[in-house]
A and B are shown apart, each in its own frame.
Chain A
């Protein structure tokens, strides 16, 4: 039956069986499937599904799918969607064509191949890197209104079984273990994952890991256990690990480094996002690396290419993180005067850096550190500041209205700045900004530009992270009331990680480009896109 409708007639029934056996064998040994095998497997599955659909469904669905997948290759993203798109398009095309007369089938196929080739050459053209094309392209893009076909990120679609199935299939293909949710989820957040710290995804990986680089496994474990926490720390750790990966990478024969390395990185990124959802800063760093990799010219030798990439990563860390924090400190120190009482929340590496620098410059001020359960990150900030010799006071966030009349300024760190001016930061930040506004205390947010992201969000529900709910359990006087919360039917524990602060609570954002109001974030993003 399969051979009948298969237009290529490449695979016979017997061939298919042998192939499947081989593939099953290879999977069991944990060997990585070669590209052809993977593609063949994919085609087979698609054909199989297509036959099932032919029996029931109309062809309109396929038409829609192909329309949706066609804009995907036009994204300046990795090669893998480009690889994925031709396969389903091809298969859907074949099914749709089954209804149409035979000659248009061949015509459409030829059309498709021509389009793929033209895309490939245009990508080559970009890589060869005419400066003219680079300068003409940015002029074009701001003028035309691009249809923004953004895929909804997987981590906010947990309540959609189709999306979950798709993710499971993708992870299976990449041989990355799937992590299962834990505990009762509050109904308002059923679209988000909730993992337990006691079951990291690394438990399911065999040692030695052959598909995923061991330093990536270590990094994933450090993320999921909270050993590396904080936006800057996570990005820097990620970039250093990628340097290691690039160092150990060797191009397989008949492959181009620029395409294959990006494909190699995809399963690593899936694994890391299974350990802990990617932060906005990590997302921007990954985009940068992928762009740099795909810009490597094809005639570049491997060692040279690797050296170039490592230098790129180093310069990224240096520019965007280290030098940026120096620039921000310079601006922020102008805002700190003698006799100030500064309030900080939690542990932001940037704000701690600013305070230490200001103290070195002999400014006289004292700091109030506000902390909150269950993470209690403020204690870490307290240790760092006290070690420097700064006078500190420490309270919990419930004592905020008591302590705020003494405060002259509030310095907050950010996890990301969204395009509509909202500040996404650790949960509790919006509360601090709210109460500070009520007491007329200025609120200054310090954020590097690499954390700016193009998402928009108005509340803390649609996209957030749910931490382990067992963290809320506390034992006082030998009793812990919430110990058996899983057994109680109507009880839920909610441990949010992030929240968004509306821009009217924030008075100033200090970035490496200068001191801007919250509403100027999309301007900065536009300027950055033009530069790139």
Chain B
């Protein structure tokens, strides 16, 4: 039966995606960038929308939520997966609301006024069937995909507004967004870049060699020298893994030290993060915030005699509080950290915060 084939094909794809997620999380940062993950997630969700069997928006949302829970469980630290799922859920809600003909709700948050005026129609369980809902949703997801393709370019286009000539810019580790940002500015301006290598994975080395290809003056420093050279740095530009709901960051380890050093010297800290990294999580769960990888990166097995008597830790992420951040540059422009909560309410529906 063609339907069954499609279903098995779909579940195969989902399974392969899940196993890839599980595999790429072990060490060495992300083998694939977050942008790629976001794109693949969105493409998979589009396929689910097209091929799964559902009758109305509510069922579709259930299916997506179920798959989404499995995907986030496969790799909890990869938050872009969850973010994309929430975006798609919001899209479905919007399309449903548009199909019903009701005006687009500008304020979806619960408010006293809404409770009084809406009466009983607020209980909307998305059970109505619309014939064009599928096509509309797929079209909207396509728009989302185009937006995702253009994020890095949108961010790099703003580079010249923030970098003047003869500046010394500091960065840490490897971020494809920051790389594109700096390369774009280097086409017109001359500046120096100092890259902190970010042990133990030393991704800063790759970043430095890549920047040198565009003839940018680069210096590689070990992590221990961050505070020592900070007094000569004009700006700190970093990427991040996730932007949290309070405006804080979950970034690669060493970023908190960098942010504190920048604050001490009153150097502006600029975070280049596309909108799909914005996540409705808060940093208050200690045991789920951190991710650890094998400590043999830190203390190799060659140190045999002392290994059994020593605890070694190798955390991957750091929390950076929003007070240390000066500016977020995203594909929709520059924002202060205090504005992040507003952007989040536009991207995700509050009921979707918990998948």
Binding site for B on A (CB under 8 A): 186, 188, 372-374, 379, 382-383, 386, 391-403, 426-428, 430-431, 434-435, 438, 459-461, 472, 474, 476-477, 480-482, 488-496, 499
B314 close to A399 (CB less than 8 A): yes
Chain B residues closer than 8 Å to A398, beta-carbon distance: 198-200, 223, 253-254, 257
Tell whether, in the assembled complex, residue A476 and residue B201 are in contact, meaning their CB atoms are under 8 Å apart: yes
Contacts of B303 in A (CB 8 A): 379
Query: Are B311 and A372 closer than 8 Å at their CB atoms?
Result: no
A393 near B228: Cβ-Cβ < 8 Å: no
Given known contacts A392-B311, A402-B315, A493 and B199 CB-to-CB distance under 8 angstroms: no
Interfacial chain A residues near B43, Cβ < 8 Å: none
Chain B residues with Cβ under 8 A from A496's Cβ? 221, 225, 228-229
Q: Is the CB of A401 within 8 A of B313?
A: no
Q: Is B98 an interface residue (CB 8 A)?
A: no
Cβ–Cβ < 8 Å partners of A397 in chain B = 199, 223-224, 254, 257
Chain B nearest Cβ from A12, distance in angstroms = 59
B256 within 8 A of A: yes
Name the one of A392, A427, A430 contacting B309, with C-beta atoms under 8 angstroms: A392
Shortest Cβ distance from residue B225 to the other chain A in the assembled complex, whole angstroms: 5
Measured between beta carbons, the chain B residues less than 8 angstroms from A493 are 219-220
Interface: B23 (CB within 8 A):
no
Please, how many angstroms separate the alpha-carbon atoms of A396 and B231 in the complex? 23
User: Is the beta-carbon distance between A488 and B209 smaller than 8 angstroms?
Assistant: yes
The reply to whether B310 and A394 contact each other, CB–CB distance below 8 Å, is yes
- Binary CB contact string for chain B from 307 to 351 against chain A (1 if under 8 A, 0 otherwise): 001111111001100000000000000000000000000000000
Bound state CA distance, A472 and B202, in angstroms? 10
Partner of A427 from the list B224, B232, B310, B311 (CB cut-off 8 Å) is: B224
A491 CB to nearest B CB, Å: 5
Binds A, one of B145-153, B210-218, B236-244, B277-285: B210-218
Asked whether, in the complex, the Cβ of A396 is within 8 Å of the Cβ of B298, the reply is yes
A401, A403, A474, most chain B CB atoms within 10 A: A401
Report the nearest A residue to B218, measured CB to CB: A491
Q: Is B260 a contact partner of A438 (Cβ separation < 8 A)?
A: yes
- The reply on B138 being an interface residue by CB < 8 A is no
Q: Are B219 and A395 in contact (CB under 8 A)?
A: no
B289: shortest Cβ distance to chain A, in Å? 10
Instruction: Give the nearest-CB partner of B314 in chain A.
Output: A399
CA distance A496 to B215 in the complex (A): 24
Q: Which of B173-208 contact A (CB under 8 A)?
A: 197-202, 205-206, 208
Closest residue on chain B to residue A405 by CB atoms: B286
Q: Is the CB of A396 within 8 A of B257?
A: no
Residue contacts A-B, CB under 8 angstroms, 7 given:
A372-B199, A397-B224, A398-B223, A438-B260, A489-B212, A489-B215, A491-B218
Across the A-B interface, give the 8 residue pairs with the lowest CB-CB distance, nearest first.
Answer: A428-B224, A398-B254, A372-B224, A401-B256, A499-B228, A481-B205, A460-B228, A431-B227
In the complex, the answer to whether B232 meets A499 with C-beta atoms within 8 Å is no
| Prevailing SS type, chain B contact patch | mixed
Residues of B within 8 A of A382 (CB): 306, 310
CB contact under 8 A between A494 and B215, given known A434-B227, A435-B260, A499-B225: no
B261 within 8 A of A: yes
Within 8 Å of chain A (Cβ to Cβ): is B222? yes
Q: A490 and B228 in contact (CB under 8 A), knowing A395-B298, A399-B315, A435-B257?
A: no
Residues of B with C-beta under 8 A to A402: 253, 290, 313, 315, 318
B292 to chain A, nearest CB (A): 9
Confirm or deny: B299 has a beta carbon within 8 angstroms of a beta carbon on chain A.
yes
A401 with B224: CB separation less than 8 A: no
A47 to chain B, nearest CB (A): 46
Docked Cα-Cα span, A105 to B118, in Å, equals 111
Closest A residue to B324 by CB, please name it. A438
Q: Complex formed: what's the CA distance from A492 to B201 in Å?
A: 19
Which listed residue, A392, A460, A495, touches B310 by the CB 8 Å rule?
Answer: A392
Please determine whether B260 and A434 come into contact, CB atoms closer than 8 angstroms.
Answer: yes
Residue pair A490, B216 in contact (C-beta under 8 Å): yes
Contact of B220 among A428, A431, A492 (CB under 8 A): A492
Say whether, besides A474-B205, A491-B208, A394 and B215 are in contact (CB < 8 Å): no
Binary contact readout B65-95 vs A (1 if CB under 8 angstroms, 0 otherwise): 0000000000000000000000000000000
| Minimal Cβ-Cβ distance residue in B for A345 | B224
Known: A374-B222, A496-B228. A431 touches B257 (CB 8 A): yes
Chain B residue nearest to A390 (CB atoms) is B309
The interface residues of chain A lying within 8 Å CB-to-CB of B253 are: 398-399, 401-402
- Please state if A488 and B197 are interface contacts (CB–CB under 8 Å): no
Q: How many Å from the CB of B316 to the closest CB on chain A?
A: 9
Measured CB to CB, the nearest residue on chain A to B193 is A490
In the assembly, what is the distance between CA of A465 and CA of B306, in Å? 32
CA distance A438 to B220 in the complex (A): 26
> Contact mask B229-269 → A, CB, 8 Å, 1/0?
10110000000000000000000011011001100100000
User: Are B225 and A399 touching (Cβ within 8 A)?
Assistant: no
Distance between A169 CB and nearest chain B CB, rounded to angstroms: 33
**Contact indicator A494/B261 (Cβ below 8 Å):** no
Cβ contact within 8 Å between A386 and B310: yes
Q: Which residues of A lie under 8 Å from residue B200 when comparing CB positions?
A: 373, 396, 398
Residues of A within 8 A of B218 (CB): 490-492
Other 7 A-B pairs with CB < 8 A, given A491-B220, A496-B225, A499-B227 = A372-B223, A372-B224, A399-B313, A401-B253, A431-B224, A492-B219, A494-B219
Are B205 and A434 within 8 A (Cβ)?
no
Query: Of A186, A383, A396, A426, which one neighbours B199 at CB under 8 angstroms?
Result: A396
The smallest C-beta distance from A65 to any residue of chain B, in angstroms, reads 35
Question: Which of these, A373, A401, A489, contacts B257 with CB under 8 Å?
Answer: A401
Q: Are A434 and B261 in contact (CB under 8 A)?
A: yes
Closest chain-B Cβ to A524's Cβ sits at a distance in Å of: 26
B206 interface neighbour in A427, A459, A481, Cβ under 8 Å: A481
Q: Return chain A residues, CB-CB under 8 Å to B225.
A: 427-428, 494, 496, 499
Query: Whole-angstrom distance between the alpha carbons of A162 and B218 in the complex?
Result: 30
Which chain B residues border A438 with CB–CB below 8 Å? 260
CB distance from A348 to the nearest CB of B (A): 15
Is B45 engaged at the interface, CB distance under 8 Å to the other chain? no
| A430 touching B227, Cβ below 8 Å | yes
Q: Which of B219, B261, B309 contacts A431 (CB 8 A)?
A: B261
When distances are taken between beta carbons in the complex, the residues of chain A under 8 Å from B298 are 394-396
Residue of A nearest to B303 (CB): A379
Tell me, rounded to whole Å, the shortest Cβ–Cβ distance linking B333 to chain A.
30
* Given contacts A402-B318, A488-B212, A489-B212, A394 and B312 within 8 Å (CB-CB): yes
Which chain A residues lie closer than 8 Å to B202 at the CB level? Answer: 474, 476, 481
Nearest chain B CB to A57 CB, angstrom units:
38
Give the distance to chain A from B170, nearest Cβ to Cβ, in Å.
Answer: 12
